[in-house]
C-alpha cells in the first residue's frame, strides 16, 4: 500500500483554518497518520510505504511502522505514487490517498478483495476523484490522480469498484468533508485535534484531591488522564465522580483545562 504525503505545512490548502486554534500542519499530518494506521491494520496489506519529502512526517509515519521513501525530484502526486509502487516490488500494489481519516480497515480489506487480477479504482464520495487505485502483480500502477481522476482512471482501463464503503470514499479536502468524516468516526490522531478545536466532553472517572489529578471517561469509552495543571486552570474547587466536563487539549493531546460545559 502506497501513500503520497505532501509536506503538512503545504498540503490540504482548502482545509486551512478548519479547526481554529489547531496548526494546519498538525491537522494535515493527523489525516495521514490515521490513514496509515487503518492501512496497517488491514489484513491484506503486507506493507505500507509512504512517499514524502518532509522529515517530520517521515518520522511520525515511521513510528507507526510505515516504510518511508523520499519524494522524487520535482514532487507531484503521480510521480510520488509511481516511486512508491516501484519500491513495493514483487507484489500487487495499491495507491491510497492519505486523507481518509475515518477509514475502517475492514472496508479497505473488502475493497482490495474485490479487485481480483485487474487494475481497479475506487472513486471518492462525490464520484469525481479517486481514493484508491490498485494494480495486480506485473501490471503498472499508472496513477492519474488530480481533478477528474475517476474519469481519467476509467479512461486508462482501470475498472471501478462498486462497494459502498463510506469510510474509504470519504476523503477530506474541506471543512465540510472533515465534518462528514467526523460523523463516520475519525481515527485517533484527527479526533484528538477535532476535540482540541471544538472542546470534547466526558465524565469524571477519578479525581484525587491531594494530587488534583485524575481521569475522564470520554464518550467513546476511552479514558483520558488530566494533570493537576488542568484542574488548576479550571477554576473549580473540586470535581465529583460522574460530573460532566468539557476538556481542552493542546495539539499534542495533553489536557490543559477542565470546565463545566455550561461555563464559557
- HSE, CB side, 13 Å, CA atoms: give it for residue 102: 20
User: What's the CATH code, domain 2-194?
Assistant: 3.90.550.10
Q: What are phi and psi of 134, to 5 degrees?
A: -125, 155
Residue 261: pLDDT over 70: no
Q: Where in the chain is the domain with CATH 2.40.50.140?
A: 200-259
- Stretch 151-158: mean pLDDT: 98
| Residue pLDDT, tens place only, 198-245 | 556 788 999 999 999 999 987 667 788 999 999 999 888 888 898 888
What CA–CA distance (Å, rounded) separates 136 from 114?
A: 12
pLDDT for 15-44, tens place per residue?
Answer: 998 887 788 999 999 999 999 999 999 999
CA atoms within 13 A on the CB side of 133: 31
Task: Confirm if 200 and 188 have CB atoms less than 8 A apart.
Answer: no
Q: By CB neighbour count within 10 A (0-12 exposed, 13-18 middle, 19+ buried), where does 32 fall?
A: buried
Where does the chain hold its CATH 3.90.550.10 domain(s)?
2-194
Domain 200-259: CATH superfamily, name plus number: Nucleic acid-binding proteins (2.40.50.140)
* Measured distance CA(40)–CA(50) in Å, rounded: 12
Is there a contact between 246 and 258 (Cβ–Cβ < 8 Å)?
yes
pLDDT above 90 (res 188):
no
Amino acid at each position: 500500500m502506497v501513500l503520497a504525503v505532501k509536506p503538512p505545512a503545504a498540503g490540504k490548502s482548502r482545509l486551512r483554518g478548519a479547526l481554529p486554534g489547531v496548526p494546519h500542519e498538525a491537522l494535515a499530518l493527523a489525516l495521514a497518520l490515521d490513514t496509515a494506521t487503518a492501512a496497517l491494520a488491514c489484513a491484506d496489506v503486507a506493507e505500507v510505504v509512504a512517499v514524502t519529502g518532509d522529515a517530520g512526517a517521515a518520522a511520525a509515519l515511521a513510528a507507526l511502522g510505515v516504510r518511508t521513501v523520499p519524494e522524487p525530484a520535482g514532487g507531484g502526486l503521480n510521480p510520488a505514487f509511481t516511486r512508491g509502487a516501484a519500491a513495493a516490488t514483487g507484489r500487487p500494489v495499491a495507491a491510497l490517498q492519505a486523507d481518509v481519516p475515518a477509514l475502517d480497515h475492514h472496508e479497505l480489506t473488502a475493497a482490495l478483495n474485490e479487485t481480483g487480477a485487474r487494475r481497479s479504482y475506487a472513486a471518492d464520495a462525490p464520484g469525481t476523484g479517486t481514493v484508491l487505485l490498485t494494480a495486480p502483480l506485473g501490471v503498472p500502477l499508472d496513477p492519474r490522480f488530480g481533478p477528474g481522476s475517476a474519469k481519467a482512471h476509467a479512461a486508462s482501463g482501470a475498472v471501478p469498484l462498486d462497494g459502498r464503503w463510506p469510510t474509504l470514499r470519504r476523503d477530506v479536502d474541506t471543512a465540510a468533508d472533515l465534518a462528514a468524516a467526523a460523523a463516520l468516526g475519525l481515527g485517533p490522531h484527527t479526533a484528538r485535534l477535532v476535540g482540541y478545536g471544538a472542546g470534547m466532553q466526558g465524565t469524571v472517572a477519578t479525581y484525587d484531591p491531594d494530587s488534583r489529578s485524575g481521569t475522564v471517561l470520554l464518550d467513546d469509552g476511552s479514558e483520558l488522564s488530566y494533570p493537576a495543571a488542568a484542574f488548576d486552570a479550571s477554576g473549580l474547587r473540586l470535581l465529583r465522580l460522574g460530573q460532566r466536563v468539557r476538556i481542552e487539549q493542546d495539539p499534542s493531546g495533553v489536557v490543559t483545562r477542565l470546565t463545566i460545559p455550561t461555563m464559557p
